[in-house]
Amino acid sequence: MTGVTPASPIRLRLALVGPPGSGKGTQARLLAERYGLDPVSTGQLLRDLAARHTPIARVVRGLLEAGRLVPNRIVLDVVRKRLAALEAAGRGWIMDGFPRTTPQALAFDAMLQAHALDAVVVLDVPPEIVATRLAERGRHDDGRSTIERRVRSYERETKPMIERMQRDGSVLRVDGDQSIEQVHDDIAARLTPVDGMTGGLGAT
């Protein structure tokens, strides 16, 4: 998820949120290609961190395997470093799976300061569908009890964050229970450039 795509004349800043297995990684890659953005997956950044041989890596590895959220302090540290590099390079980006909690969203706002997000895209997928998808994907953190715990974290931590963002008006909700292509087309249709290739976005 760290590959560099050709930069777009529109320097978008997007966040993609949804339950585990809702297709965030899948859609982030497609949107990155379409708009020339760098995808930033906190899941992947944390898996990379967990693969190291440090005390903190051991802690993160245990949390990922158990399907628990990694503490905000650790997540914010990896995001801050990645975003600083992208902003310094003048790149647009799409956050995949971040923010996931209200404290992360508040810290993210503070981190962005002058550069507000263009949109937060929420992928809505029912729990029974995500369970089937993740069982088929079969990553090492996709066991049944782990999936259930991750879905519970989403209900408890992420949903209230989305409701709060929705009151602020920057959220686009998309039906993620469709084909990969249809979900992508729906997101792209909602991200309507208001001024050709050089304008901002109109959240419909």
For ligand B4P, the closer of residues 180 and 202 by Cβ is 180
Residue among 103, 111, 99 at smallest CA distance from 170: 99
Among 22, 93, 105, 108, binds ligand B4P (CB under 6 A): 22
| Residue 120 touching ligand B4P (CB under 6 A) | no
Which residues are CB-contacts of 46 (< 8 A; sequence separation ≥ 6)? 60, 64, 70, 74, 75, 78
- How far apart are CB 24 and ligand B4P at their closest, in Å? 4
Q: How far is Cα 36 from Cα 1, in angstroms, rounded to an integer?
A: 13
Q: How far is Cα 177 from Cα 175, in angstroms, rounded to an integer?
A: 6
Q: How far is Cα 140 from Cα 27, in angstroms, rounded to an integer?
A: 21
- How far apart are CB 89 and ligand B4P at their closest, in Å? 22
- Residue 116 has a CB neighbour count (10 Å cut-off) of 9
| Residue 127 touching ligand B4P (CB under 6 A) | no
| Residue 39 touching ligand B4P (CB under 6 A) | no
- How far apart are CB 75 and ligand B4P at their closest, in Å? 4
Residue nearest ligand B4P, Cβ-based: 43
At 66, list the tokens: 């158990």
For ligand B4P, the closer of residues 179 and 204 by Cβ is 179
Cα distances from 18 to residues 39, 57, 150, 188, 201, in angstroms, run: 16, 25, 11, 17, 21
| Residue 4 touching ligand B4P (CB under 6 A) | no
| Residue 91 touching ligand B4P (CB under 6 A) | no
Give 189-203 as a DSSP string.
HHEEESBTBTS-EEE
Fill in the per-residue mask, 156 to 195: x = in contact with ligand B4P (CB under 6 A), - = not in contact.
----------------------xxx--x------------
List residues binding ligand B4P (CB under 6 A). Answer: 18, 20-26, 41-43, 46, 64, 67, 69-70, 75, 97-98, 100, 104, 133, 137, 150, 178-180, 183
